[in-house]
Amino acid sequence: MQTGAKVAPVTGGNRGIGFETARQLAEKGLAVLLASRNLEEAEHAAAILEDEGLTTVSPVKLDITNSANRDAVSQLIARQFGQLDVLLNNAGVATPEGTGTVIDRLTSGTSLEELRLVFETNGFAVLLLTGQMLSLLRKSSGARIVNVSSHLGSLTLHARNDQAVAYTKRYACNASKAALNLFTIQLAQELEGTNIKVNSIHPGWVKTRLGTDAAPL
């Protein structure tokens, strides 16, 4: 691992948008912790990037809903780097496995199980992981927290049934992204005047395992 480089863990970095983000951060010379809830998948993804000549990527096991995993990664960063420069909150879910696609319109039939599972990853775990990393982010000269969200969290678009979000009314997923956007706003307000900037991003509907082949990008 390159010493002196800015440090950036990417959650859900083993595939899709997270994997490409890890690649592009490594291309810029950052020390990337490519995180996945499955260590073997993280190791496989990191090996692909190493074959491309990107040697500043290290695989780590991080199920963001697991407190022991969060503790282990924060301790690893503190021990090896002493600070954190970029926290890329990319890991997320659209639906629990085996419950259909995000295209289903099931607002009134949304189950408590689905709400719990989606919010656990997209909302609660992001808040807990970010809070745990704040002390390390404060040690950076210019830190960034980036939450990978979606325009599916826009109340304005849903209220006017905008075509951009008409393809999905999956309540649990959309509500969790709205909560993530509010978390971003309030955390940015909390950290105003510090060395930490906080943003949500809408990367678009991309052809990934989560986005499916129906995605246009």
For the domain that residue 56 is a member of, what is the CATH number? 3.40.50.720
What contacts 54, CB < 8 A, 6 or more positions away?
23, 26, 27
Question: Exactly one of 167, 182, 197, 204 is catalytic; which is it?
Answer: 167
Q: What is the pLDDT of residue 161?
A: 79
Query: For residue 62, is it within any domain?
Result: yes
Query: For residue 168, is it within any domain?
Result: no
6 or 213, greater pLDDT: 6
Cβ-defined contacts of 173-179 (< 8 Å, 24+): 173/93, 173/94, 173/95, 173/102, 173/118, 173/122, 175/115, 175/119, 176/92, 176/118, 176/119, 176/122, 176/123, 177/122, 177/149, 177/150, 177/152, 177/153, 178/153, 178/154, 179/119, 179/122, 179/123, 179/153
Question: pLDDT, tens digit, for every residue of 77-133?
Answer: 999 999 999 999 999 998 765 455 555 567 888 999 999 999 999 999 999 999 999
Query: For residue 160, is it within any domain?
Result: no
Q: How far apart are CA 214 and CA 6, in angstroms?
A: 36
pTM (2 d.p.) = 0.89
Q: How far apart are CA 99 and CA 115, in angstroms?
A: 12
Query: For residue 69, is it within any domain?
Result: yes
What confidence tier does 4 reach under pLDDT thresholds 50, 70, 90? Answer: confident
Q: How far apart are CA 93 and CA 73, in angstroms?
A: 21
Query: For residue 143, is it within any domain?
Result: yes
Query: For residue 26, is it within any domain?
Result: yes
Instruction: Determine the 3-state secondary structure of 185 from DSSP.
Output: helix
Among 14-18, 49-53, 82-86, which is the least confidently predicted range?
14-18
210 or 194, greater pLDDT: 194
Q: How far apart are CA 170 and CA 103, in angstroms?
A: 7
Show the tokens assigned to 94. Answer: 């659209």
| DSSP H or E stretch at residue 35 | strand 31-36
Question: pLDDT, tens digit, for every residue of 147-166?
Answer: 999 999 999 999 987 888 87
Asked whether 206 and 212 are in contact (CB, 8 A), the reply is no
> Tokens 């509500």 identify what position?
175
160 or 26, greater pLDDT: 26
Q: What is the pLDDT of residue 186?
A: 98
Among 42-46, 59-63, 162-166, which is the least confidently predicted range?
162-166
Sign for the CA dihedral angle at 62, 64, 69, 71 comes to positive
Asked whether 126 and 183 are in contact (CB, 8 A), the reply is yes
Q: What is the pLDDT of residue 98?
A: 47
Asked about 167 being catalytic, the answer comes back as yes
Query: For residue 212, is it within any domain?
Result: no
Show the tokens assigned to 97. Answer: 């496995």
Give residue 56's domain range.
Answer: 7-97+125-148+181-201
Give how many domains the chain has, as a whole number.
Answer: 1
Show the tokens assigned to 59. Answer: 């695989």
Query: For residue 92, is it within any domain?
Result: yes
